Amino acid sequence: MFSRRNRRTPSAQPAGPVFDSAEVAEAWARLDAGDVPGALRTLRDCAESAPLGEIARVTGRAAQAAGFDDLREAAAKVVGDPQDGRALYDFGYACVERGVAHLAIPALREVVRTHPEAVGPRRELVSAYEDQDRHGEAVDLLLPHEDDLDDWPDRYLLVFDAVTSGRLDLAEQQFAKLAAPSEEMWQPVHARLARVMARAAAVRATGAAPLDHDDLRGWQYVLRGSLLGHLSPYGFDAGMRGRYAYLQDSYAACRAGIERLRLALEASGQRPTTVSLLPDRGSRILGLAAAELLGLPAVPFEPEREATLVVAYDLKELLEPEAPDAGVEALRALTARAPGQVLHEHASCWTDTPPVTADSVGLLAQAVTPPWGEQLQGRPDGSGADRLPADPRSEAELAAEIVAASPEPDPGDDTTPPDPDPAFTTFATAAAATWLQGPRDRVRAMGPVPSSRFT
């Protein structure tokens, strides 16, 4: 009954609010103003309380404005009959495909409620939950059916969502039941999941990481294979838990990241012989500094180069207009792993993860301004701030600023747990046997450690 296929049922789309809700009214007002993204964001706050038909009415109007005929038509069917399971499934599927999974969840959840044994809606709802980093709810949806799950994809999804939501014991139990896939398309996924479970076992067995809901470094490694060098010393108790939202970066933080990278290389026995410079300006600056501090020659990046440290300031900068073709080629090459190659990214975005996952990460930020970029500087009289222009100096001069900076950590606000070098070294040592394994696939899931963020 419920399967993925293209459906076209043209229908007129009703307009105007029916449900009395401040959020729905605001969404309609935003649509009247031409702000389609804003209207869909506004619906997030009421999507699970407003009637499905009203959510579909607003979504259909937004889809019409955006030219998304599939979503507009699916929404019209729900408006026509909000209790039609087929219509709700089609609407949920279209929402997931169009990047508004938060609007799919109530519709798909209703289909699952009325058709509890239907596999298609259940899988689609799991997909919507995953898109919204609601992995625990995906586990709760799948677990009652554990005895009847197909291994691929359903038990795999149960294992993945269990580990991503921090339920490691359940993940280990279900992974032991998961048969190796016979279909080739699932084999890389199985191998990736096996690496996740091996990393978890490695750091858990030594006691190097508690892997609780505050252990950002531990889960960063388990889920991504990245050694996280630096935890934000601000706002830990206010919801950040070691991540930054907005960061105006400093030369000292860049230096501290390289020093933690040095500890990771020593603890794991890695001995790179060169530092490879990527084609964007930020990465070249940081790479030259790393080469100087580590006593290694700096060379242009070549995908096949072995025993090299590849240094990136922010991997997303490789997609910027400065060198888009060379940057895209570098990212494509970095997905694979040359022998002895280590990829270090200083500032990694945690809300929109980079195309490849670095082996070492200096810090996690939602948005970052490099120390050589435009800076905001507060006025002495407290009347506001001025925007200072980007630093035009050469890459070598800016790299020298990093080398000269103090590596001493920022003391922060005294709410973040201490993170001394020996603790990081202990963790890196425990991770050494499972580090630098497999391709550097992109990982979108945030994991079980929540943080406040800009929306």
Name the E strands within 238-303: 244-248, 274-277, 298-300
For residues 303-323, give the mean pLDDT. Answer: 93
CA angle at residue 129 from 123 to 134, to 5 degrees? 140
Please answer whether residues 45 and 23 qualify as being in contact, where contact means their C-beta atoms are separated by less than 8 angstroms: yes
User: Given this model, what pLDDT does residue 8 score?
Assistant: 33
How confident is the model over 375-387, as a mean pLDDT? 79
The CATH architecture to which 22-132 belongs is Alpha Horseshoe (1.25)
Q: pLDDT by residue (tens digit) across 256-303?
A: 999 999 999 999 999 999 999 999 999 999 999 999 999 999 999 999
What are the domain boundaries of the chain? 22-132, 151-205, 216-434
**pLDDT > 70 fraction of the chain, expressed in percent and rounded:** 95
CATH among 1.10.357, 3.40.50, 3.30.70, 1.20.1250 for 216-434 = 3.40.50
Whether the predicted pLDDT of 10 surpasses 80: no
Given a cut of 60, is residue 19 above it in pLDDT?
Answer: no
- Write the CA distances from 71 to 58, 87, 100, 151, 212, integer angstroms: 11, 11, 10, 31, 39
β-pair type (342-349, 360-369): parallel
| Tens digits of residue pLDDT in 34-83 | 999 999 889 988 888 899 999 999 999 999 999 999 999 999 999 999 99
Q: 30 phi and psi, to 5 degrees?
A: -65, -40
Place of tokens 């010393």: 233
pLDDT higher than 50, residue 444: yes
- Residue 156: partners with Cβ closer than 8 Å, 6 or more residues away: 178, 186, 189, 190, 193
**What are the tens digits of pLDDT across the range 414-434?**
888 889 999 999 999 999 999
> Going by C-beta distance under 8 Å and a sequence separation of 6 or more, which residues neighbour residue 443?
223, 224, 353, 357
- This prediction's pTM: 0.91
Residue type at position 229: G
Please state the separation of Cα 208 from the chain's center in Å: 24
